[in-house]
Amino acid sequence: MTLSRKEYLYQLSDLSENSHTAEYLVTVIEKVIEGIGEDQICAVVSDNVANVHNAR
């Protein structure tokens, strides 16, 4: 959300062909953060499934 309270979706990816291990999710999330710039990220929102929890 921006200062003007607008929300944006940066990227939508089809990850259905890969196993969603914690290691794989870390790789995907890091690429997105690097693409945007770490200083531009204030939060990463996820669910609490075990593989996502382990990727944190």
Task: Look at residue 45 in the predicted model and tell me its pLDDT.
Answer: 78
Task: Look at residue 27 in the predicted model and tell me its pLDDT.
Answer: 92
Q: How far is CA 34 from CA 27, 40, 48, in A?
A: 11, 10, 23
Task: Look at residue 1 in the predicted model and tell me its pLDDT.
Answer: 61
Q: How far is residue 2's CA from residue 40's CA, in Å, rounded to a whole number? A: 11
Task: Look at residue 50 in the predicted model and tell me its pLDDT.
Answer: 76
Give 51: exposed, middle or buried? Use CB within 10 Å, 0-12, 13-18, 19+: middle
Task: Look at residue 33 in the predicted model and tell me its pLDDT.
Answer: 92
**Residue ranges of the chain whose pLDDT lies below 50:** none
> Residue 17, Cβ neighbours under 10 Å: how many?
5
DSSP 6: -
